[in-house]
Structures are given as structure tokens and as C-alpha cells.
């Protein structure tokens, strides 16, 4: 699926994301290193924080552990998600995420 990633300096990039990967993995595989993903995707670092700007209608709501991590972020917004908790699927075609500021 095609995913649009907006970097911290506002640059927009379309990446090809393999279904089944997490959005975090897809972004990192595309060579975008602003997503640190320090915990490797185990929902315990929040360095994969993104804002879902479009195309997230089919995403399931955050589980409790994701919500807890986001709760601790200074930059939490209504559309905040941890990208390691989002699974790429065809339903996410055109998903647009903005990399959240560094904590």
C-alpha cells in the first residue's frame, strides 16, 4: 500500500509499504530515520509517534498500552498514534502520517 509520510521539516514522501508490516517498520525500511523506534516496536518508547493526517478511518482504536504511552507524550494530539502499533493493509492505501516532534 502507498503511505505518505510527512517529515518534521514538512517534506512529503510517498512510500510503498508491504502489507503485514507495521507502519513504523515500513517507514524505517524506506530509509526515513526520523522514526527512531528505540524499543523495536514493543510499544514502550513512543519514539515512533506519528499524527494520522488522513486515511486512518479504518484503523482500530489504540489499545490500553498504546494509549498509556501516548498519554505520557508532551505532543499528544487527537490523531496521535504509535506507528509500531499500526499494521499496513490494503485498507490503509493513501494513509498520511506526520512524524511527531522529538520528545
Residue nearest to ligand FES (CB): 84
For residues 36, 40, 99 and 78, what is the CA-based torsion angle, rounded to 10 degrees?
-140
How many chain residues interact with ligand FES (CB under 6 A)?
A: 14
**In contact, 7 and 99? CB cutoff 8 Å:** yes
Q: Which alpha helices (DSSP H) does 35-80 contain, by range? A: 64-71
- CB-CB contact of 83 with 98 (8 Å): no
Are 50 and 99 contacting, i.e. CB atoms less than 8 angstroms apart?
yes
- Confirm or reject binding of residue 48 to ligand FES (CB under 6 A): yes
Taking the complex as a whole, the smallest distance from the CB of residue 47 to ligand FES amounts, in Å, to 6
CB of 33 to ligand FES, least distance (A): 13
18-47 residues near ligand FES, rule: CB under 6 A: 24, 37-39, 41, 43-47
List residues binding ligand FES (CB under 6 A): 24, 37-39, 41, 43-48, 69, 82, 84
Amino acid at each position: 500500500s502507498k503511505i505518505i509520510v510527512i517529515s518534521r521539516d514538512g517534506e512529503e514522501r510517498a512510500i510503498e509499504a508491504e502489507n503485514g508490516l507495521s507502519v513504523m517498520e515500513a517507514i524505517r525500511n524506506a530509509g526515513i530515520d526520523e522514526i527512531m523506534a528505540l524499543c523495536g516496536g514493543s510499544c514502550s518508547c513512543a519514539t515512533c509517534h506519528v499524527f494520522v493526517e488522513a486515511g486512518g478511518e479504518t484503523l482500530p482504536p489504540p489499545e490500553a498500552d498504546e494509549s498509556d504511552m501516548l498519554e505520557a507524550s508532551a505532543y499528544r494530539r487527537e490523531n496521535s498514534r504509535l506507528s509500531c502499533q499500526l499494521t499496513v493493509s490494503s485498507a490503509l492505501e493513501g494513509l498520511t502520517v506526520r512524524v511527531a516532534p522529538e520528545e
